[in-house]
Amino acid sequence: MNVLAILRDAWFFYSRHFGSIVRLCLPLILLESGTRLAVDHWLGKGALPGQELLVGMLFYPLYIGALILFIDARSRGHAPELRAVLARALPLWPALAVLTGLGTLLIMLGASLFVLPGIWVMVKIAFAEFLLVLRGLSPLAALKQSFILTRGHFLLVLGCVLSVLLPLWIVEAWLATALVADNAANALPRLLLDAVVGVLQLLPTVMLFRCFMLCSDTPAGDRGRT
């Protein structure tokens, strides 16, 4: 399967279940944004080392873990209650938070050497979250297994990542200029920007899930596009 086919399947799922995805993830995305704004207001932006990362580690693992569980359940033909999905995601938070921190540091380390090593690391660890949530691996084991699983599929995963993230980065930059630049003191444009970008950035997770299933040992034919 090529990148366009994976993107088509991901968009089919994302658009069909958009309402459920928003109800599942948007409250936590807004809470994350509000917490970030409050911390910036009280301490000053960048007052603490890794301030943005620390805030992200509080909320991102919760909604991304819940989203992965939701995608997996729907792909199996189940229709779980959103509260039940969040309840299942909650115990995964510590491990996912550690994985988020390790993954971000690895990408930053690669990017500090040059842009291309950072992109290489981002592709090689693309499946780590799925391995942790769906296969119960530890953060380090998930990172290691992701490196192995992406072997021979690098260009496919790279195409999946860039085909979605590049347009999102452009949209985010445009929205930041249009909504925030002229009204930096107002928190509402920042919250609106984070809500729009946060929901859009869930699409890469849907796309990478499809790619993960194709690259893993699980036969792709066992998963539908429900």
160-165 long-range contacts, Cβ below 8 Å, gap at least 24? 160/3, 160/6, 160/7, 160/126, 160/204, 160/207, 160/208, 160/211, 161/122, 161/123, 161/126, 161/204, 161/208, 163/3, 163/7, 164/7, 164/10, 164/203, 164/204, 164/207, 165/204
Contacts of 219 (CB under 8 A, 6+ apart): none
Q: Give the whole-angstrom CA distance, residue 226 versus residue 22.
A: 17
Output the pLDDT for position 222.
Answer: 43
Listing DSSP states for 17-68 in one string gives THHHHHHHHHHHHHHHHHHHHHHHHHH-TT-STTHHHHHHHHHHHHHHHHHH
Assigned token pair, 167: 């347009």
Contacts of 41 (CB under 8 A, 6+ apart): none
Each residue's pLDDT tens digit in the chain (226 positions)? 688 899 999 999 999 999 999 999 999 999 998 888 888 777 766 555 567 778 888 899 999 999 999 999 999 899 899 999 999 999 999 999 999 999 988 888 877 776 678 889 999 999 999 999 999 999 999 999 999 999 888 999 999 888 888 888 787 777 667 655 444 456 677 788 888 888 998 999 999 999 999 888 644 334 444 4
Q: Give the whole-angstrom CA distance, residue 69 versus residue 88.
A: 8
Output the pLDDT for position 175.
Answer: 66
Q: Output the pTM of the full model.
A: 0.88
